[in-house]
Each structure stands twice: as C-alpha cells, then as structure tokens.
Structure 1
Amino acid sequence: MKQLILGLAATLMMTAAHAEPTATGDLGLVIERAKGSVLLVDQSDRAALARIEGLGDLSHASLVYSPDERFAYVFGRDGGLTKVDIVTRQIESRVVQAGNAIGGAISDDGKLVAVSNYEPGGVRVFDADTLEMVADIPTGSKTIGLVDAPGRRFVFTMWDTGETWIADFANGSPEITKIPDMGKNPYDALITANGRTYITGLFGEDGLTALDLWDETPEPIRVLPDYGRGQEEMPVYKMPHLEGWALTGREFVLPAVGHPQVLWIDADTLIETGRTQTHGQPVFAMARPDGRQVWVNFAHPLNDTIQVIDSVTKEIIHEFKPGPAVLHMEFTPRGHEVWISVRDANKVMVYDTRTFEKLREIEADSPSGIFFTARAHRTGL
C-alpha cells in the first residue's frame, strides 16, 4: 500500500510538472449583458479564450478580482453575486443576495466582498472564500458609490437620504460612521488610488461632494457647486459613471451631468481648472494609465463615438466612431492599447492608443463592461 501511495504521488507530481502553466495577469473578462455570460479574453493574443455562462441578469453588471487574480466576483442586476474561477473557467459558487443590486467591492485584504443594493437597499458583505454572508447593513435607502478603502473599510452613499457611510471591518463586526449632508440624490462615486479622497456626483443639484478619508472626522466638501447653472439643461439620457474616473497628473477629469462637457478639477484644492466641450453627454471619461490622454464615450443617441482629449491642452485631438452603442473602455495596464465594447455590433474592438489604429475585433454577444485582472491591485476597482 505504501508503495502504491508513493507511486501515485510521484505520478501526480510528474503530471503537475508537465501541465500547461496558467498565468492570469494577462487575462480579463468581458460582460455579455444579454446572455448572462462573461467572455474570458487574453490581452497579448487579443483573443477570446472561453465563455462562462449562468450568471443571471448582467444588464448592469460589474466585477472585482481576488488578490491572486484567480477569482472574479461578478455583481448582477438581479442581486446575484457569482464567484468565477478564471483558471478552471467555470462558476465556483453563486448566491442571489438581493432583488436588485448595483455593484460591489472587495476589501483590501481580499477577505470580504460587499454588494450595494437598490432592493431592499443597504449593503451586504460576504466571505470571499465561501460567499457566506457575514454582515447585513440596512440603510433605508438605495445605496450607490460602494468602494473599498484602506484598512478593511467600505464607503458607500445613499441616493434617498444623501448620507455617506463608512463601514470599518478592521475588528471583525462593522463599525459604522455616518456622514450626513452629502447633497441631493448622489448617483455614483469614486475613490482616489491612495484611498484618501472620496467624491460623489449629485443628480438632484449641481456639483459634487468630496470627503477626506484621512481626516479623523470627515466632513462634506462641496466641489463645483455652481457648474451648469445659467445653462440650458439637456435631458439626461444615461447617468455618467464616476467609477472610470480620470486622474491626469494633478487634475481629475469628470463627466458633467446633463451637459456635453467634461470638468477638470485640481486634485489637491478641488477647484475647477477648466472644461472641455464634448460631442455629447459623457458617460465615461477615462485616463490612459500615464494620464496623457482622456478617452470619452457618450450617452444615447450619440453613443457611436469616442473622443480623445489631450490632458495638457485640454483639447480634443482625435474623434472616431467604433460602431453603435459604445458602452465601455478598458486600457491595458501600461496603456499601449484600449479595448472598447461596441454592444450593437456584438464586438470588442482593440485600438493602439498612440496611432489610433484598430488592431483587432473580437466577437462578443452584447458586450458591456471590460475588466482586466490588473484591477486586482488597485484601490477602488
């Protein structure tokens, strides 16, 4: 028996030694919103590797990665939280934790996954290994702008009450700090890469509100309180997203609400430094990783267009039309390429960010969000 066990162990070691190694650093997932599936892609090969199905309603989905880049936690609109193993290319586990969810975050140590809910509202937090719920935080409101912050904390904001809460899990059970008077109907939020500044956009009034999370008792800081006043407001066809925020050197670049503009703000003083008129109402304003360019896509009916802005001159340097319904962009980690989902063409298109040359088209079924595994190592993503 001992010889049999030793022989089996030796066989397994030999099999492992000769197995195809699996590295995840060059991979990513594309949300296929109509099919309830995700498409596993390889950045270097510019190719689709596999489709993983059975993730429910992905009409407004996002995801985060585990620190080792192996697992993706996909947040579906139907309240589903799905853990996907991108090495085995299958679903590891799945729970439907609410009736209507709107994104989530993973703690800085990778142990907790939090989900932001519209119905029944609040935030629910799960063990990243087992997907067992470890905390239920009712808020009496739809929650938006959920991000991770250093120190095993989650920060999120309430659409109905205009409050921001900080849930600190450093000692196990959450300790909640409530910050009122953030503004009327906050709709999305971002956190800076160093975890210091949290900014939420406001739908019910002009401007944004910031928090300094390094402060012992953070207080709301109003940003651009008068932008848009005196102008004719346009109908808001699609809410802009702050999650794909741009930081270019010393300035934030944020999409305006109801106006064809992006707004430039000094990252230290939070004072406006400029505006760039755009093709339409921006949805994402995303910086190339080096900060030298900002790529902008737009709401319906002008959502076939991308504009590229030079972050020094603040001027548009390139405009092109990838196709109908451009929904999302994702840069490769060093920014030499950008991947663009074109929903109604059923394609993901890959472009060189220096020459703007199209390099590849990848077939995908109603693609939306694109998420590369490099996000695993960035706060707020």
Structure 2
Amino acid sequence: MRALKQLTAALLASLALAGCSSLPADAVRGTGDLGVVIERAAGRVKVVEHSHDSILGTVEGLGDLSHAHVAFSRDARYAYVFGRDGGLTKVDLLARRIDRRVIQAGNSIGGSVSQDGRLVVAQNYEPGGIKAFDADTLELVADVPAEYAPGKFSRVVGLADIPGQRFVYALFDADEIRVTDFSDPKHPVTTRYPAGHQPYDGLVTPDGRYFLAGLFGEDGISLLDLWKPEAGARKILSGYGRGEEKLPVFKMPHLRGWSLAAGQAWLPAIGRHEVLVADAASWKETGRVAVKGQPVFVMARPDGRQVWVNFAFPDNEWVQVIDTVEKRVVHTFSPGKAVLHLEFTPRGDEVWLSARDSHRVTVMDTASFAIRRELAVDAPSGIFFTSRAQRIGF
C-alpha cells in the first residue's frame, strides 16, 4: 500500500512538471521590473518592464487620467490607478486587464496603500476627505470627511501612508495637517494639527518620520514630526516660496517629487528658477542651484549622487541634472516636448522620461546620459514602477 502511494505521488509530480514545461515562456514571471505609463488623453495605461525596456501591453477604460496617480499592492501584482473623475481602478499587471473598478468620488487626485497592504486609501477634492477600501475587493471600509467647520469640507492633498496603519495628509482649505489611524479599519481615529496657510501638497521622508507640507498662501513649509506629533507642526524654511516679489507660477511644483540626497533636501522653489538645498537634520537652507526654469519635479537618483529636474512651461522640454556633491548642473538636454514626469529604475541605472507632446517615453542611462530606448506612447504623463510598493509614503 505504501509503495502504491509513493508511485502515485511520483506520477502526480511528473505530470505537474510536464504541465509547467508546456507553459509559454512569458506565462510565469515576476513583477519586480514592471510598471505603468499613463496615457492621459486616452484614459488608458501601458504596462511596461524595465529589464528589457519594453511595452508589454495596454489596459483601456480607466476614465479621466488628466491627473492620475498610481500605487501598488504589497505583492506588486496590482496597480491601483486613481483618476481625476473619482475612479479607482485595480489593474492586474500580469493579466494586463482591469480586475475591479469603482467611482468613489467626484474629483480625486491620488491615494496610497496601507502598511499591511490591506487598505487602499483615496484622497478627494469632491467631496473633501479620504476613503478607505478593501485592497482585494475595492469595497468601501471607511469614509473620513475633511469637515473643518459645520457644513464645510476641504480639498485633501499630499496623502501618504506611514507606519502603524496610519495616513497623513493636508487640508488646503482648512490650513491643517491630519493623521488618520486605521488600526481598527472600520473605526478610524483622526488627529488634527494646525498648519500654515493653504498647504498645497506634502511628502513623507523615506524613514516615515517627517511630513512636510508646502504652503501656497505664505512662504515656508509646515513640518510635523510623526514620531513626536504632540509637539504639533512647526514652520521651517520661512524664506521658501515666492518671496516679497510675487512671481507668476506656471505650474505648482510637486512635493512628492522632492528629494533627500547626500544628507540634504532638494526642493523646487515656487515660481523661481532655482532648486533650494536644505540640511535634512536642521531643515535650514544651505544653498540654491540656479536652473533653466521653474522646477516641477526634483528627483534624486536612488544612490543620491544626482538630482534630475524638469520644468514648467515655457521651459518644459528641458531636463537638467545636478551633481549633489558639487551642487551644480552637469547636464542639460531635451528628451521631447512637454516633459511631465520621470521615474528611476530601482537601482538607478536608468531613468524613464515622459514627453507628452512628442508622444514618447525616453529611457536614458544615468551614468553616460546615452539614450537606451525610445518608446511610442500616446500623450504620456506619469510613470510608476512597482518598486514603489516597498517604500514608505508612496
């Protein structure tokens, strides 16, 4: 009897191996080198991979992607796409199809995934507030309105996940920073902190300790120490902003595109042709780097040696590279018209740049600045790689 069981097990194992060997070569693969590129005008995404710099397929039917953001599931198989029309779409990157989709708001500009990967949280302009959804089913778990006075609701900006099943975000209309704890997902607890005037975006430092909210209504930045939140938010870099001379702002810089590199914070100056440099411990300004236009994204290569900068109109065809040791621009080039976004591969050997009006994505070697590949994409904007799934604040 025992011999028969062993023979049966051996036959089943051999059949399983035979079945696996008959699968197509691309049927089983990892997700660590995958990503999506937003085709903003067409309401679809390209699924891409950066091991060989190729497009794997297209997923359509994602609605208004004019201000789209993407977060990834814990296992990096699924992309959660947040659309401007309030759509939240779960995209299966391996099957290259929509897994689930809900319209959860009237106007949404982004979201994030909880520390344990079980919740997807969207930040909304209309109605103002945040909503938490089950990451598997996209069923609503909790609704947290951003009510700051009776019947008044603020637009939410700068939402980021932080340790402890918490999310931190800013209220543009309420001059507040809020932290919501989803340890009990159906009964979230929110703490409010006064901030400066009109926080327009925010970011969390890579260690999850500090939340920085840029201020549109005044010069400076509100900083909240998330390890010691009881001290409240404080104002830093009071000279940061448009200053006494109110310069025209053609596009607000993205704080999520700020960088920490070489012990310094690298920030896009509002309305100015400068990148501001500040000490990441004291948060005091240490210098400024003159650049070609008004910076939008100031992105550090993963090793921190370089910072790459793109610009608002009319200089939005240009990109500049700053050496963080020498604190100077070392390379200037144009990868196409209307460069909207850039994304580094996880170890920083490549950077992908989207040129909306040239309808292409350029893949560049970050050491030699040589072009490795150009990919045809319809009006590309945001580029998001699955390595974001393993990072705090994304």
One fold, TM greater than 0.5? yes
For 1:324, what is the secondary structure of its paired residue?
coil
Q: Report what 2:247 is aligned to.
A: 234
1:156 to 169, 182, 189: 169
Does the CA-based 8 Å contact 2:206-2:393 persist in structure 1? Answer: yes
Q: Report what 2:139 is aligned to.
A: 132
1:138-161 deviation digits (Å, cap 9, x = unpaired): 111000000000011011110001
Q: 1 CA distance for matches of 2:334 and 2:192?
A: 44
Q: 2 CA distance for matches of 1:143 and 1:284?
A: 20
For structure 2, list consecutive stretches of 5 or more residues without a partner in the other structure: 1-10, 147-152
User: Structure 1 residue 176 and structure 2 residue 176: aligned?
Assistant: no
Q: 2 CA distance for matches of 1:28 and 1:230?
A: 39
1:361 CA displacement: 0.2
Q: 1 CA distance for matches of 2:353 and 2:360?
A: 8
User: Structure 1 residue 113 and structure 2 residue 120: aligned?
Assistant: yes
1:195 to 198, 201, 208: 208
Does the CA-based 8 Å contact 2:218-2:241 persist in structure 1? Answer: no
**Could you say which structure has the larger radius of gyration?**
2
Q: 1 CA distance for matches of 2:39 and 2:16?
A: 37
How many residue pairs get aligned? The number is: 375
Does the CA-based 8 Å contact 1:327-1:369 persist in structure 2? Answer: yes
For 1:243, what is the secondary structure of its paired residue?
helix
Q: 2 CA distance for matches of 1:108 and 1:10?
A: 40
Q: Report what 1:100 is aligned to.
A: 107
**Aligned partner of 1:15: which letter?**
G
1:221 CA displacement: 1.7
User: Structure 1 residue 292 and structure 2 residue 297: aligned?
Assistant: no
1:41 CA displacement: 0.8
For 1:374, what is the secondary structure of its paired residue?
helix
Q: Report what 1:213 is aligned to.
A: 226
TM-score norm. by structure 1 comes to 0.95
Q: 1 CA distance for matches of 2:208 and 2:277?
A: 20
For 1:335, what is the secondary structure of its paired residue?
coil
**Aligned partner of 2:126: which letter?**
E
Does the CA-based 8 Å contact 2:242-2:272 persist in structure 1? Answer: no
Q: Report what 2:87 is aligned to.
A: 80
1:313 CA displacement: 1.7
Report sequence identity in percent.
Answer: 55
1:357 to 358, 370, 391: 370
For 1:45, what is the secondary structure of its paired residue?
coil
User: Structure 1 residue 366 and structure 2 residue 343: aligned?
Assistant: no
1:171 CA displacement: 2.9
Q: 1 CA distance for matches of 2:202 and 2:325?
A: 25
**Aligned partner of 1:73: which letter?**
Y
**Aligned partner of 2:387: which letter?**
A
1:228 CA displacement: 4.8
1:15 to 11, 19, 30: 19
- Aligned-residue CA RMSD (Å): 1.7
Does the CA-based 8 Å contact 2:219-2:243 persist in structure 1? Answer: no
Q: 1 CA distance for matches of 2:328 and 2:93?
A: 40
Q: Report what 1:4 is aligned to.
A: none
Q: Report what 1:57 is aligned to.
A: 64
Q: 2 CA distance for matches of 1:13 and 1:101?
A: 47
1:229 CA displacement: 6.3
Residues 23-62 of structure 1: pairs in structure 2 closer than 5 A: 23-62=30-69
Does the CA-based 8 Å contact 2:359-2:379 persist in structure 1? Answer: yes
Does the CA-based 8 Å contact 1:85-1:92 persist in structure 2? Answer: yes
**Aligned partner of 2:384: which letter?**
F
